[in-house]
Structure 1
Amino acid sequence: MTQTTTPAAAPAPPVAPAPDAAAAAAGLTVRRGRWIDGWDPEDAQQWRTVGRAVARRNLGLSVFAEFLGFAVWALWSIVVPRLPDAGFVLTVDQMFWLIAVPSLVGATLRIPYTFAVPVFGGRNWTVVSALLLLLPTGALVWAVQNPQLPFGALLAVAALAGVGGGNFASSMANISFFYPEREKGKALGLNAAGGNIGTAAVQLAVPLVVVAGAGLSLERAGLMFLPLAVLAAVLAWRFMDNLSNAKADPRAYGAAARATHTWIISFVYIGTFGSFIGFSGAFPTLLDAQFPEVTLTIAFLGALVGSVARPAGGALADRFGGARVTVVAFGVMALGTVGAILALRAQSFGLFFGSFLLLFLATGAGNGSVYRMIPAVFRFGASDDADRGRRAKAAAGCIGIAGAVGAVGGFLIPRGFAVSTSLTGSIQAALWVIVGLYAVMALTTWAVYQRRGSAFGAATI
């Protein structure tokens, strides 16, 4: 008698827990509206099981939204040189006003945008801030098709682009809540660099888009961003999260505002980040005015170099100290500016362009090194854990204040060029003033944070 046996069924593969189940196992509760309760990136198990994936997803979408914000913020920098071709009759002073005002508005909006994240939720505010980009881009589409528009109205439309500058502050504040302290610097560096690249991208894309086909269609500079802003809002709504424990502490800003170092660092940051924004905005117009035979498409390289150099500056600061890297950055910035002056005298495009690329490289590295200095300055001399906690909050407030003050440089540099051109017929006088300011800022950084006899002694700041 033959006996047959039925093979045993293969064991079923383990079923991966549903996202909500995995979150619950990690101590998280996901509520309606993608609100997450119990978020603690310092909890090693939570971070390893679900936290890192959630943080990375939010970071990626935040970078995209911030990228668009920076692009819209810088939009007028590449539109202004083409306005005369579209029928607008503008003086040099008026053109520099159109470049400068978005930077001033963006700088002003940075503080309220920082507080918007804890009030509305990071995901919710990303949706709102992305949709707000429809306002400046839509207004630009209308304005550039009306050459008879009064200058005041044109200036008001340009000012609307400042909402894109506010996106940086809210994006950085939001991402800071998602990451543990040991990984926060890298995450914020990637977030900042991704946003800064938006400046380069718009200066590369717009000159190509507006001349595609027959004639000049300057309205396309705004039209190209309308679907992208909607896409950013939809992606944020669908895939980003709100953290219920992301709370703003107005006292941190109060403590930072009372600290002398906040204002010293803010002054220094005008020289690094303010130079990046200011020169990025003015560079296409400078190229068009000084070397009209050169295509404007290459102007994007300046902002690109500055953006890529920012994480590198932070890494160098981790190794050698933020103050030391910042002082060197100012030296290189001064060298690049002097090179630009000599290039203007010799009417050498190669020297002018190379000098500005060197200048942009140093501004990007300086941005990263100054951000590295802030926590080091505020934690120096902490006496106990409670004191360290207070100092960390003050450092966070300093980052917000310095970011807003530093962005004012984006207004000062174009206006300085306008005044210099009006009084002397050239931007060279303004460039010499900038060289002098770099020397003062480098000396200030060295004297306060690096000099052996300073309050910080031999500490690496």
Structure 2
Amino acid sequence: MNIKLSTPPGAVRPAGREWLESWDPENPDTWDHHLAWRTLWISTFTLTLCFASWFLASAIAPKLTNLGFDLTTGQLYWLTAMPGVAGGLMRLVWMVLPPMMGTRKMVALTTVLLLIPVVGWGVQVQDPTTPFWMLLSLSFLSGIGGGAFSGFMPSTSYFFPRRKQGTALGLQAGIGNFGVSLVQLATPWIIGFSMIGFLGGSQPMAGAPGKPAQEVWYQNAAYIYVPFIVVGAVLAWTMLRSVPITANIRQQFDIFRNPDTWWMTLLYVMTFGTFAGLSGQFGLLMKNLYGAGNPDIVQGAGAAAKLLIAGYSIPDPVTFVFLGPLVGAAARVLFSPLTDRFGGARWTLVSGIGIIASIGYTLTALQPDTSSAEALDAGFYRFLWGMLAIFLFSGIGNASTFKQMPMIFERRQAGGVIGWTAAIAAFGPFFFGFGLTIMSPTVFYLIGLAFAVLCVGVTWTRYARPGAPKPS
């Protein structure tokens, strides 16, 4: 996108005003790195809250039936899939906002909007009679947090020179992705005491078969983020500035005439689409394969349930589910500087090959062997390690693809391509949730394996091989 330079490079308006008079991050003599890094850290803090809000349903849904909600397995999958639909649709809106609204207004107002789904979940989880359509609406509104990514990332890219964009965008996206682990790790802990109990009373939550119910304050899972959201919005409004970009909506959409837009969309679906999809479905998938959702393992219902496999300890998904997003987010942060040093395409190739191998390994554990407790335990840990490997390689690919895009596209287009690819990949939770409701996990993973093979072929042919048309 064209950057205005109407005054000498580096000159800015007084600190109290929003818009920079001019901005040229490629000029090291005038680039204000303090402003750039301040923008990165504040928008990354708020983006982390966006991801926590976006995946709140994935942390809450697996335990709703334990709280007395009358929901089917299919309805639970839809609750965790709907934020993906909404996030993808909203990213198509947020991707065009940075040039129109500027960084300051966009980040501050988006952060305020997070209060709608977060407070809504806090209120409704206290009432087991809440109708399914209301819960589904809250899942849709959680997509606001997902939509933010396609605005925040292009906006941040305006502040950094190309040589640093791999690191900057990797840090922002990677740390932001930690919001997924944050919400899944914090939920089982924060609901256990009445730290903010004045906002609602406790509820009995049924435990694993044979274990007593426990008193929980499930509303805490949502309310805990409210003060941080308020702080983030205030910081964004008071400390951020905006880069003047000249690009209307029609100009931004000329990216669709570039074939690399479509190739990079495929690659980002393989990487972030996998990360987001598995993050949303990991807990339910574990519960239905190796937990209390598998009728071959558990017989009966509630406290009267009896284990068919004597000696098998049914895993609680909340104990493990945060690990996947944590591994993926950490990989994105740690590998981002490496993509700046060695280039993105070769790491995308590593990512794709690793995803193929990890899916192949996980496929061996998608049909639990219920012949003995030992066989079940072995299968569970194969499933767990296979899933963590998929998260690892998808995280590497998340970093490398975001290094590739600023190198492949001119600056005017790079922000739009980042927003577009992020929008499509955000449908990951929906694709995974919908797919797992209409087909077996084995068939779904085989389709994913074939897609990853296709993406590796695209990466090698277009970007990574010697003499590639677009080395990046």
Pairwise TM-score range, normalised by the shorter structure:
0.7 to 0.9
CA–CA distance in structure 1, aligned partners of residues 25 and 402 of structure 2:
22
The aligned counterpart of 2:330 is: 308
Residue 294 of structure 1 pairs with residue 275 of structure 2: no
Residue 71 of structure 1 pairs with residue 70 of structure 2: no
Matched position secondary structure for 1:212? coil
- Per-residue deviation at 1:38? 3.0
1:395/1:62 Cα in 2 relative to 1: closer, same or farther (>3 Å)?
closer
The aligned counterpart of 2:23 is: 39
CA–CA distance in structure 2, aligned partners of residues 167 and 232 of structure 1:
14
The aligned counterpart of 1:255 is: 254
The aligned counterpart of 2:69 is: 88
1:298/1:373 Cα in 2 relative to 1: closer, same or farther (>3 Å)?
same
- Per-residue deviation at 1:114? 2.9
Residue 439 of structure 1 pairs with residue 423 of structure 2: no
CA–CA distance in structure 2, aligned partners of residues 37 and 70 of structure 1:
32
CA–CA distance in structure 1, aligned partners of residues 438 and 328 of structure 2:
26
Alignment of 1:24-63 (within 5 A): 27-30=11-14, 32-47=16-31, 51-63=32-44
The aligned counterpart of 2:397 is: 366
Matched position secondary structure for 1:344? coil
Residue 406 of structure 1 pairs with residue 425 of structure 2: yes
**Which of 142, 157, 160 in structure 2 is aligned with 1:179?**
160
Contact 1:69 1:130 in 2 (8 A): yes
Kindly tell me the number of residue pairs found equivalent between the two proteins: 414
Percent identity over the alignment?
A: 34
The aligned counterpart of 1:335 is: 357
The aligned counterpart of 2:199 is: none
1:353/1:432 Cα in 2 relative to 1: closer, same or farther (>3 Å)?
same
1:437/1:42 Cα in 2 relative to 1: closer, same or farther (>3 Å)?
closer
- Per-residue deviation at 1:197? 0.9
1:336/1:87 Cα in 2 relative to 1: closer, same or farther (>3 Å)?
same
5+ long unaligned stretches in structure 1? 1-23, 379-390, 421-425
The aligned counterpart of 2:283 is: 284
**Which of 122, 130, 138 in structure 2 is aligned with 1:157?**
138
TM-score (norm 1): 0.83
Which shows bigger deviation, 340-349 or 220-229? 340-349
Residue 103 of structure 1 pairs with residue 114 of structure 2: no
Contact 2:149 2:419 in 1 (8 A): no
Contact 1:337 1:431 in 2 (8 A): yes
TM-score (norm 2): 0.82
- Per-residue deviation at 1:226? 1.3
The aligned counterpart of 1:188 is: 169
Contact 1:269 1:402 in 2 (8 A): yes
Residue 419 of structure 1 pairs with residue 433 of structure 2: no
- Per-residue deviation at 1:312? 4.0
Contact 1:66 1:168 in 2 (8 A): yes
Which shows bigger deviation, 122-131 or 316-325? 316-325
Which shows bigger deviation, 99-108 or 137-146? 137-146
- Per-residue deviation at 1:166? 1.5
- Per-residue deviation at 1:286? 1.7
The aligned counterpart of 2:218 is: 218
Aligned partner letter, 2:249: P
- Per-residue deviation at 1:450? 4.0
Contact 1:322 1:369 in 2 (8 A): yes
CA–CA distance in structure 1, aligned partners of residues 444 and 123 of structure 2:
34
- Per-residue deviation at 1:210? 1.6
Residue 205 of structure 1 pairs with residue 186 of structure 2: yes
- Per-residue deviation at 1:75? 0.7
Aligned partner letter, 1:240: L
Deviations 1:60-99 (A, max 9, x none): 1111000000111011111110110111122221111111
CA–CA distance in structure 2, aligned partners of residues 288 and 218 of structure 1:
19
- Per-residue deviation at 1:121? 2.5
Alignment of 1:142-153 (within 5 A): 142-153=123-134
**Which of 385, 406, 431 in structure 2 is aligned with 1:354?**
385
- Per-residue deviation at 1:313? 4.0
Contact 1:271 1:409 in 2 (8 A): no
Matched position secondary structure for 1:448? helix
1:152/1:249 Cα in 2 relative to 1: closer, same or farther (>3 Å)?
same
Residue 227 of structure 1 pairs with residue 227 of structure 2: yes
CA–CA distance in structure 1, aligned partners of residues 414 and 159 of structure 2:
18
The aligned counterpart of 1:10 is: none
1:38/1:398 Cα in 2 relative to 1: closer, same or farther (>3 Å)?
closer
The aligned counterpart of 2:201 is: none
Higher helix share: 1
CA–CA distance in structure 2, aligned partners of residues 440 and 180 of structure 1:
32
CA–CA distance in structure 2, aligned partners of residues 80 and 133 of structure 1:
19
- Per-residue deviation at 1:332? 1.5
The aligned counterpart of 1:11 is: none
Aligned partner letter, 1:29: R
Contact 1:203 1:297 in 2 (8 A): no
Contact 1:210 1:220 in 2 (8 A): yes
Residue 274 of structure 1 pairs with residue 273 of structure 2: yes
Which shows bigger deviation, 299-308 or 429-438? 429-438
1:26/1:337 Cα in 2 relative to 1: closer, same or farther (>3 Å)?
closer
- Per-residue deviation at 1:255? 2.3
- Per-residue deviation at 1:239? 2.1
Residue 241 of structure 1 pairs with residue 241 of structure 2: yes
Deviations 1:400-434 (A, max 9, x none): 211111222221012111112xxxxx422212221
Contact 1:78 1:285 in 2 (8 A): no
CA–CA distance in structure 1, aligned partners of residues 386 and 413 of structure 2:
37
